[in-house]
């Protein structure tokens, strides 16, 4: 089967999906008597119009890059990891345990240690579903989603019974020590004499996320492991023929995936809240699925899609703040974008493919 050109696959399809989602959102906004134009303007101003808006947009983007990469890596091995949410929760637990374990003298020591904790805990949470899939054939979609619930319950228990400082009512850990405070981009810009993004949570993790994109790209397309992951994802019989162990690769791919999801906690737990709270992940694990789908499981695509969803999150928040569009509707808009770019991807892709095939047919005639 001939397909359409790469640019149409990678850019045109998501773009049309996005426009469709926006069109339906506009109709909904019109239906409740508000101006779609004003809504769009508010969102763009709020998310991209100021360094403050950018600061928040990039903060959300960072979360989505990690969860998006997590889904993408597993996807290359043909594994659908929808447990990013739980793995990120556990990553938060790992960060909190490390950050609270020592009176860290400086963030440059705390950060690598916390990253190891986040990745290990996230990976550990992916290990059991991975093992069950590889050895027992239990479907990874079922097990990872179940593990999201177990993670939530586990975190609840840990916060209420173990991590909560005595005498407080809030189910949250103690504040992390001063030495575990990560540099905010604001502070980093200020050190260069630039005033940027005051009072925004975006921090050094954003840069780590960009590095993660590059490393994942190297992993998938430049290493033996990535080659074996992709080979297994494309054809298990062929992998066996080539001497690639499906069990080993399935487990390793899921460990990397879980580790990436866990690393998100560096951003939200260590970089922003500076303590572990309940529901710290706020659905970013699930957004990661849409991000990976929209980004075609390519790290660069994941980055762009994460940016889009960062914009939607921040812009949506602004919309609730400055217009009388209710908060619920913002969720509707976000859901529409996920629906069109993720779930309904083929609805746009298939007619588009047919158009390209027809055009090509004409070209040959």
Partner 1 sequence: MHEAVTDTGGRPATAAPNAIELRGISKAFGPVQANKDIDLRVPQGTIHGIIGENGAGKSTLMSILYGFYKPDKGEILVNGRPLTIADSLTAIKAGIGMVFQHFKLVQNFTVLENVILGAEDGRLLRPSLAKAREVLKRLAAEYQLNVDPDETIDELSVGHQQRVEILKALYRQADILILDEPTGVLTPAEADHLFRILEGLKAEGKTIILITHKLREIMEITDNVSVMRRGEMVASVKTAETSPEELAELMVGRKVLLNVEKAPARPGEKILEVRDLTLVDDEGVERLRGISFDIRAGEILGIAGVSGNGQTQLLELLGGFPEKGSKSGGTIRMNGQELDLTGTMSDASTRRARGIGHVPEDRQAEGLIMDFTAWENTAFGYHRAPEFNRGLLMDNAAIRADAETKMEHFDVRPRNPNLAARNFSGGNQQKLVVAREIERNPDLLLIGQPTRGVDIGAIEFIHKRIIELRDAGKAVLLVSVELDEILSLSDRIAVMFDGRIMGERLPGETTTGELGLLMAGITDTAHADASEGIPPEHKHVDEVSGERG
Residues that bind partner 1 (CB under 8 A): 218, 222-224, 227-228, 230-231, 234-235, 237-238, 240-245
Closer residue to partner 1 (CB): 19 or 240: 240
Torsion angles phi and psi, residue 277, rounded to 5: -115, 165
- Can you name the residues that pair with 3 across neighbouring β-strands? none
* Contact status, residue 261 vs residue 122, Cβ threshold 8 Å: yes
Burial call 191-223: b when 16+ CB within 10 Å, e when fewer = eeeeebbeebbbbbbbebbeebbeebbebbeee
Closer residue to partner 1 (CB): 198 or 248: 248
CA dist list (Å): 363 to 8, 352, 357: 17, 16, 10
Q: How far is the CB of 219 from partner 1 (least distance, A)?
A: 10
Q: How far is the CB of 259 from partner 1 (least distance, A)?
A: 17
Q: How far is the CB of 116 from partner 1 (least distance, A)?
A: 19
Q: How far is the CB of 228 from partner 1 (least distance, A)?
A: 8
Q: How far is the CB of 98 from partner 1 (least distance, A)?
A: 27
Compute how many other C-beta atoms are within 10 angstroms of the C-beta atom of residue 343. 13
Closer residue to partner 1 (CB): 232 or 336: 232
* Contact status, residue 125 vs residue 151, Cβ threshold 8 Å: yes
* Contact status, residue 92 vs residue 275, Cβ threshold 8 Å: no
Encoded tokens for 326 = 């209710």
Whole-angstrom Cα distance, residue 90 to residue 253?
A: 18
* Contact status, residue 160 vs residue 171, Cβ threshold 8 Å: yes
Q: How far is the CB of 255 from partner 1 (least distance, A)?
A: 17
Closer residue to partner 1 (CB): 48 or 225: 225
Whole-angstrom Cα distance, residue 103 to residue 93?
A: 17
Closer residue to partner 1 (CB): 34 or 353: 353
Encoded tokens for 297 = 């499981």
Chain position carrying tokens 């790209």? 217
Q: How far is the CB of 77 from partner 1 (least distance, A)?
A: 13
Closer residue to partner 1 (CB): 156 or 245: 245
Whole-angstrom Cα distance, residue 114 to residue 203?
A: 15
Closer residue to partner 1 (CB): 50 or 138: 138
Encoded tokens for 41 = 């303007």
């Amino acid at each position: 089967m001939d397909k359409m050109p790469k640019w149409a696959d990678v850019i045109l399809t998501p773009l049309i999906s996005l426009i469709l989602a926006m069109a339906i959102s506009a109709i909904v906004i019109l239906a409740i008597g508000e101006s779609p134009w004003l809504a769009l303007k508010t969102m763009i101003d709020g998310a991209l119009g100021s360094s403050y808006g950018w600061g928040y947009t990039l903060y959300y983007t960072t979360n989505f890059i990690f969860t998006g990469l997590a889904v993408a890596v597993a996807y290359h091995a043909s594994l659908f990891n929808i447990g990013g949410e739980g793995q990120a929760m556990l990553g938060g637990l790992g960060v909190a345990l490390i950050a609270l374990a020592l009176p860290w003298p400086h963030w440059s020591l705390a950060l690598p240690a916390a990253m190891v904790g986040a990745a290990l805990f996230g990976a550990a949470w992916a290990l059991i579903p991975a093992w069950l899939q590889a050895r027992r054939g239990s479907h990874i979609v079922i097990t990872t989603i179940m593990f999201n619930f177990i993670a939530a319950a586990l975190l609840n228990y840990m916060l209420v019974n173990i991590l909560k400082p005595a005498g407080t009512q809030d189910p949250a850990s103690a504040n992390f020590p001063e030495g575990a405070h990560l540099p905010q981009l604001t502070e980093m810009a200020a050190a260069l004499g630039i005033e940027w993004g005051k009072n925004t949570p975006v921090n050094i993790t954003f840069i780590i996320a960009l590095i993660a994109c590059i490393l994942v790209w190297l992993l998938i397309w430049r290493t033996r492991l990535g080659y074996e992951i992709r080979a297994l994802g494309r054809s298990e019989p062929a992998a066996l023929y080539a001497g690639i162990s499906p069990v080993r690769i399935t487990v390793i791919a899921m460990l990397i995936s879980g580790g990436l999801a866990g690393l998100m906690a560096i951003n939200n737990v260590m970089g922003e809240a500076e303590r572990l709270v309940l529901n710290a992940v706020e659905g970013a694990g699930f957004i990661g699925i849409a991000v990976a789908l929209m980004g075609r499981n390519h790290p660069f695509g994941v980055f762009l899609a994460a940016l889009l969803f960062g914009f939607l999150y921040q812009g949506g928040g602004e919309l609730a703040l400055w217009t009388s569009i209710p908060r619920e509707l913002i969720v509707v808009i976000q859901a529409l974008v996920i629906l069109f770019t993720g779930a309904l991807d083929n609805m746009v892709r298939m007619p588009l493919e047919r158009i390209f095939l027809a055009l090509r047919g004409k070209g040959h005639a």
